[in-house]
Amino acid sequence: MSTARHWHTASILANGSVLVTGGETSSGIVNSVESYNPLTGIWATTGSMNVGRYLHTASTLANGLVLVTGGYNSTSYFNSAELYNPSTGAWTMTGSMSVARYYHTASTLTNGLVLITGGQNSASVLSDAELYHSSTGTWSTAGNLSVARYLHAAAILANGSVLVTGGKKDGAYLDSTEFCNPSTGIWTITGSMNVGRYLHTASTLVNGLVLVAGGQGNGTSYLNGAELYNPSTGAWTMTGNMSIGRYCHTASTLPNGQVLVTGGYNNGYLNSAELYNPETGTWTLTGSMDVARRYHTTSTLANGEILVTGGSNSGGYLNSAELY
């Protein structure tokens, strides 16, 4: 990439390119945006966002535009949202959320709406959820979570409900989980995880179960544990442990149904990667990245390869990208 950055976003465009937005850099919080063409392996700078931001979200919409929401710039929290048009390379502001937030989640629903949950601003941890309607560029309320939370992880269940897991509130590491039926905005508390965690990952498996992996647990423990949520029973059960405890890592579902976890942090920056096999419930180490990193992104390309971008380690912000 031309800019070394972490806590940026990466989104797959309809043409297969990967769009990287914003993030924190050695010269502050940036609005710069660049895209990677997997066919040529070349990065190109494209239009800048109207607002420099990090800790924001980016979601590819059914109409091909990319919606960026919220975030922080070290002095202000944003409720603003903007849209990237891949055919012009330009950004335009769209409707603002009713609440400014960062450390929130964004899930693109099967009906094309985008559900934003929780997060944080100035002094408060947020419980509300909002839905973005791309047809009108406007937001509507999607009810309130039972538990306010940030640095949580969301996954879309097979029936279209959105499951929200863990996160942090004040000093607490949350084990609670809840799901929302986006068409009613009703949130329902479901089973609690065995372990409270934040900065973990949540991935919906092809068998319909949800895999939660790693994160930071109560105290200073970097979790190696993983657990599975069964939507038909609402229960969480521990599954195999990762070889290495980690948080601030990424998880990507591969075309073969396995889940690839990369990098992150425990007592040091990690370059290791491991694969979860849903059929055996076990993890195996796979090739390590060339560069140890956290606060990076991973994207599953159309050809099945995984693109890793940026992040940071003890040497600072990273502009390198690698393919798995």
Ligand X SMILES: *[C@@H]1O[C@H](CO)[C@@H](O)[C@H](O)[C@H]1NC(C)=O
Tell me: does residue 34 bind ligand X (CB under 6 A): no
97 or 306, CB closer to ligand X? 97
Closest separation in Å from C-beta 53 to ligand X: 9
Query: Which span (31-39, 67-75, 250-258, 271-279) binds ligand X, by CB under 6 A?
Result: 67-75
Q: Are 179 and 208 in contact (CB under 8 A)?
A: no
Residues of span 198-257 touching ligand X by CB under 6 A:
218-219, 224-225, 231-232, 241
45 or 159, CB closer to ligand X? 159
Give the whole-angstrom CA distance, residue 116 versus residue 107: 7
Q: Which of 111, 159, 256, 280 is the binder for ligand X (CB under 6 A)?
A: 159
Closest separation in Å from C-beta 252 to ligand X: 23
Closest separation in Å from C-beta 119 to ligand X: 10
Query: Which span (36-44, 158-166, 249-257, 286-294) binds ligand X, by CB under 6 A?
Result: 158-166
Query: Which span (19-27, 37-45, 74-82, 303-311) binds ligand X, by CB under 6 A?
Result: 74-82
Q: Print the SS3 string covering the chain.
A: CCCCCECCEEEECCCCCEEEECCEECCEECCCEEEEECCCCEEEEECCCCCCCECCEEEECCCCCEEEECCECCCCECCCEEEEECCCCEEEEECCCCCCCECCEEEECCCCCEEEECCEECCEECCEEEEEECCCCEEEEEEECCCCCECCEEEECCCCCEEEECCEECCEECCCEEEEECCCCEEEEECCCCCCCECCEEEECCCCCEEEECCECCCCCECCCEEEEECCCCEEEEECCCCCCCECCEEEECCCCCEEEECCECCCECCCEEEEECCCCEEEEECCCCCCCECCEEEECCCCCEEEECCEECCEECCCEEEC
Spell out, one character per residue from 172 to 191, where the chain touches ligand X: x when CB under 6 A holds, - when not.
Answer: xx-------x----------
196 or 278, CB closer to ligand X? 196
126 or 131, CB closer to ligand X? 126
Closest separation in Å from C-beta 29 to ligand X: 6
N-to-C CA span, the chain: 17
Residues of span 94-133 touching ligand X by CB under 6 A:
126-128
Q: Cα-flanking dihedrals φ and ψ of residue 86, to 5°?
A: -60, -25
Closest separation in Å from C-beta 263 to ligand X: 19
101 or 294, CB closer to ligand X? 101
160 or 316, CB closer to ligand X? 160
47 or 281, CB closer to ligand X? 281
48 or 241, CB closer to ligand X? 241
Q: Which of 75, 122, 135, 314 is the binder for ligand X (CB under 6 A)?
A: 75
74 or 122, CB closer to ligand X? 74
Q: Print the SS3 string covering 131-186.
A: EEECCCCEEEEEEECCCCCECCEEEECCCCCEEEECCEECCEECCCEEEEECCCCE
Closest separation in Å from C-beta 28 to ligand X: 6
Residues engaged in binding ligand X (CB under 6 A): 28-29, 52, 73-76, 126-128, 144, 157, 159-161, 172-173, 181, 196, 218-219, 224-225, 231-232, 241
